[in-house]
Amino acid sequence: MRPLTLHLRTFDIGAPADTPEEYAALLADRVLESWDSGADIVVFPEFSWMGLERFITGADKITGVAEMFRHRIYQDLTIRLSRPDKAAVFGTVPFRTDEGILVNRAPVMSEGRWLHQDKIHLTPWESSFTGGGPVHLWTFRGHRVAVVICLDVEVPEISAALRGSGIDLLLVPSATDNVLGVERISRCADARAVELGCHVGLCHLVGSAESALVDENMGRLAVYSPSQSTFLHHTRQDPGTILTDGFHLKSVILDMAALAATRTLQGETDPSRLTAASVRVVTA
């Protein structure tokens, strides 16, 4: 079974760009660079596209970014980045659905087709958005992949919903403005690797911008794998250092054969293979 090469990238929200197209190239060029150097999947952080705010003249910046992405950026990404046997998670962007609902959406290009994941649970400062919706499980090279956005990885009900799905890789694009947020995301992502018996990769937005939503940002690039015997001699926890600005890359080779072997083990405690029982809470 072939391994997967995963590239996790920070994105500096304050990086210079004179036009929306130049800004889009900050992501697109790095996707192509990663793919050309051997990456199978590339992941950018939550709200990577909010740097388009600088080109919006109206008061409603979030709606302006949504319209600019959909009508000025999306088609070019489709043309440039439709490549067989490759995938990319383009962070997240404000997106207006056909029903007129504004969501925080992760656009996913996988083997030439567009997929997406909307953020389900929202932070207090995401009041312009509507949360909710399903977790989409998609297949890449025979492996089951899901995206959960930032706060969603902290919600155990989502992990419980994925139990038994056979998920192989969980990707977590995130944006946090302080070390406590970084810690919450990292600690919960690590727990998901154990609970679900899968690889987990996360990346964070960095840098600063004139924005009510993403003014100051910090985070890390991290990868976690199951704590099972097939991974005994692997690095199972690789949280990386906390970063505050710049474009950084973590390249990781994910052992998918070891993951498959984990699921055939007998006589070993594996929480991902347990059947969730109904639990009563009794107050003493």
Contact assessment for residue 91 and residue 49, using Cβ atoms and an 8 Å cutoff? yes
Residues 138, 115: contact at Cβ < 8 Å? yes
Over residues 189-246, the pLDDT tens digits come to 999 999 999 999 999 999 999 998 999 999 999 999 999 999 999 999 999 999 999 9
How far is the C-alpha of 224 from the C-alpha of 71, rounded, in Å? 37
CA distance 168 to 189: 14
The tokens for 27 are 């992501």
One-letter amino acid for residue 2 of the chain: R
Q: Residue 132, exposed/middle/buried by CB under 10 A (0-12, 13-18, 19+)?
A: exposed
Which pairing describes strands 222-224 and 237-238: parallel, antiparallel, or unpaired?
antiparallel
Contact (Cβ atoms closer than 8 angstroms) between residue 97 and residue 133: no
- pLDDT score, position 279: 85
4 class by beta-carbon count within 10 Å (0-12 exposed, 13-18 middle, 19+ buried)? buried
Structure tokens at 235: 């690095």
pLDDT at 276: 67
Q: What residue ranges define each of the domains in the chain, with the CATH number in brackets?
A: 4-273 (3.60.110.10)
For residue 18, pLDDT over 80 is answered with yes
Task: Indicate whether 274 pLDDT > 90.
Answer: no
Contacts of residue 84, defined as CB under 8 A and 6 or more positions apart, other chains included, come to 111, 112
Is pLDDT above 80 for 77? yes
Q: What pTM value is reported for the model? A: 0.97
Q: Report d(CA 2, CA 254) in Å as an integer.
A: 9
Predicted pLDDT at 14: 97
In the predicted structure, residue 277 carries a pLDDT above the cut 80: no
* pLDDT bracket for residue 58 (50, 70, 90): confident
CA neighbours closer than 13 Å in the CB half-sphere of residue 182: 20
| CB-based burial label for 60 (10 Å; 0-12, 13-18, 19+) | exposed
pLDDT 10s digits, 124-183? 999 999 998 899 999 999 999 999 999 999 999 999 999 999 999 999 999 999 999 999
